[in-house]
Structure 1
């Protein structure tokens, strides 16, 4: 594999290699190594770096760490045409000093790879197909956000819509053409949808990075919200693809003077960006072995083990939310009225449920469950591994998910929801952290170091938020 890497670097004239990993929060970290160090040097033995400068990794007295490349992940960056700038990107795992052992602070190597190994030891595998949504903006000036000037006193209820001025004027507004109204953007064609050319270009580059896109479209929110879905992969590969997807989306946008924004809820009173996660459990390799979730004799083509897996997801949903929706802004998405899954229940076809069973094709290989409670601010190495742990716990304990909810949960009364045993996801990051703090199954998959580091980082984030005085508070309370 190392010889293949050297050959690719030489044949493509690559000058620099971006060495990639993530911190505990889920931010992509990179540093550059001249390609000649991979071609002629001993870089495959690992590169040292300062772990105390990475959030959630090490304290200063334990700061020496080693990044170990994963050669099979090498990708030449396809949009770089300047010979002086020609670069590649490669993921790696993080090791302790002397590269003696896998570091327990590394989301990819310690959490995701460990979960994959546990599955393999049982003769199992799992595949994921995330639907990653994001916004394409021309620019955002955080010092000039005008939303508070038009927010109505009743919090936006009724007909008090104003222009979504947190998003700068889009190209169609400048051209005097069409306006995609809030919550009316789904599947809009050009010229209303001005993101088609960008998406086509992004698909081209993603496929050169080995990420095969199945389809893409404008999403529900106003001008600029898009989604590109790629073919399912196993846990580590799909998490790597998640970061390549974001990396490509941001860089291709920057080439055109725009911004790809993965913040879950950037616009007030419009739909947010989620990440619905399709998943299925297999005996052996995916699409070669048996789909454990499929039962051709069942009404929904769903096996009993799939139901138990769903039971596990629902049982651990409140703790999962801390990892799947890990920002304060995530909880501005998890509210009624914007297609976000806030109710803990499951159902076939029904997008008001937290866990949905898609019913598109009656064939065993297509049967899967969709967990709708994640967003693109997540660290997938952690959250996807935690979903598997929750599902497997459901199978192990035979957790009954209850009857599927066949009605629109948003339309049920409070007494009806209580009668059906439908709970709600946490409403704030702090609430979710409290649930994570009591969930031993999810803590175990993270390991003690990442659990402690994640809790510390996020509680600090919550405390910072609680101290900040927002423009909304000034508008609401200045005249008390």
Structure 2
């Protein structure tokens, strides 16, 4: 790992690097970038940064929108997807101030770093360790149109069951039935080699891969799971993973999407987040005598997540499409509750994680349309609130639900509390419940207000568009 400017400069000479690429994060969670010739990387860049107009990144306006990007040299990696030898790195954003530049408090990475600082200030823990699971579809074709006279999308992959009768090409006959792709092998699994390439690229980038496999969705749903890591570091790696997956797919003339529900009636793409806390090198969440081996602090942390689950959805599931995934019948959670080895509850405690250092639970509702820095920071802040206020999930009636919640009678299901059913509902919840996020100056109020306005506008625009299913149901009335 490089840490000093002279080390980076020497590395560039040895590897014939021609360009330096800086990647910044906009409010939605997309990478943007600006590039300089390698000779321009000098002490001035490290001291004064690269200037840019932050108003184009979607953040709430500050006194002046001029900002500077300061690179984090330790994040430097050779970008494997560009022809010109290029070293790429992330970093932090500062606001230009006469008395000295200061961190821009709305910038996603700064929010995550501040959340970790706040956690340490509370003395609850020194670090939050997380591991997201990345689900996505790899397809061979996608097109979409949203115009006044046509609203449609089409996607395809040769392994899909709907291609079993196609005679336009040499059909192999190996197709994966509906929701039957879990751990399927070649020749059905046509993306096996591509996933391996993705994982090797991630390893080269410093992302440790746990495993990869075909997921439940027959038309090309895949999963890559990574090893546990510190929260902000894992937010950085989440950006890397999405970048590598998408570009590796394009390099193979395919396309990858993390859209939560791209295919009707098929399994959706989640981003389950496993989490644990460490303090002075010891696990905070372990207690051999606690329910499922979890400590009282772990239960309080879960209580905070469950109390704020609805408002969290506005940050962990911030797209209209997110709520097409959070429906019964697809191993996606809909009920605010916790349990061991139960995929129908929002919080699942893996039975296989038995050692003190591995004892954890996972939050199952997030998806990868989130800005990972905001989502992970919000999860941490909700959990801290649970510990500070000793919110016990069992006492509040949130479980444990050690049975399949989908099999309850209609009458019993009415007694359960459910996640929001739309982005609008989640935004309403965030508007009413956000004090836990603003503590310690972690989430600036103007950032949350801006986020709500942006997402309400997105939801309103999408909700106004006629849907093809409406034609199928109502055209002849």
Q: TM-score, normalised to structure 2's length?
A: 0.90
Contact 1:219 1:225 in 2 (8 A): yes
1:428 and 2:422 are equivalent in the alignment: yes
CA contact (8 A) 2:353 2:360 kept: no
Alignment of 1:76-475 (within 5 A): 76-80=78-82, 82=83, 85-98=84-97, 100-109=101-110, 111-121=111-121, 122=123, 123-143=125-145, 166-170=154-158, 173=163, 175-284=171-280, 289-402=281-394, 403-419=399-415, 422-439=416-433, 440-444=435-439, 445-475=442-472
Checking the alignment, whether the CA contact within 8 Å between 1:214 and 1:231 is kept in structure 2 is: yes
1:38/1:44 contact within 8 Å kept: no
Q: Which residue of 1 aligns with 2:166?
A: none
Query: Contact 1:436–1:443 (CA<8 Å) still a contact in 2?
Result: no
CA distance in 2, matches of 1:435, 1:442: 13
CA apart distance, 1:107: 1.0
Runs of 4+ in 1 over 3 A off after TM superposition: 39-44, 171-175
The Cα of 1:466 is off from its aligned counterpart by 2.1
Q: Distance in 1 between matches of 2:250 and 2:293?
A: 44
Question: SS at the partner of 2:187?
Answer: coil
Partner of residue 476, structure 2: 479
Q: Deviations over 1:422-471 (max 9, x none)?
A: 20000000000000001121344421121011111101101101221122
What whole-Å deviation, never above 9, does each CA across 1:287-338 have from its counterpart, x for those lacking one? xx11100012335111111111111110000000111100001111011111
Residues 206-226 of structure 1 show CA distances to partners (whole Å, capped at 9, x for unaligned) of 000000101000011013111
Q: Secondary structure, in 3 states, of the residue corresponding to 1:271? A: coil
Change (3 A) 1:338 1:394: same
Q: Deviations over 1:372-429 (max 9, x none)?
A: 010011111001111111111111111110141111001112432455xx20000000
TM-score, normalization: structure 1? Answer: 0.90
Aligned length: 453
SS in 1 for 2:243: helix
Do 1:322 and 1:436's aligned partners in 2 also have CA atoms closer than 8 Å? yes
Query: CA separation in 1, counterparts of 2:321 and 2:418?
Result: 18
Moved more, 186-195 or 464-473: 464-473
The structural deviation recorded for 1:202 is 0.6
Q: 1:44–1:140: structure 2 CA closer, same or farther, 3 Å change rule?
A: farther
Using the alignment, how far apart are the partners of 1:89 and 1:377 within structure 2?
Answer: 23
Runs of 5+ consecutive residues of structure 1 not aligned to the other structure:
151-164
Q: Give the superposition deviation at 1:62.
A: 2.5
After superposition, give the CA deviation of every residue in 1:5-46 in whole Å (9 maximum; x if it has no partner). 222222222222221121111111212122221158635530
Q: Distance in 2 between matches of 1:202 and 1:63?
A: 37
Show the counterpart of 1:36. 39
Q: Which residue of 2 aligns with 1:2?
A: 5
Listed as ranges, the gaps of 5+ residues in structure 2 are: 164-168
Note the alpha carbon deviations across 1:352-385, whole angstroms, 9 max, x for none.
1100111114210110010001001111100111
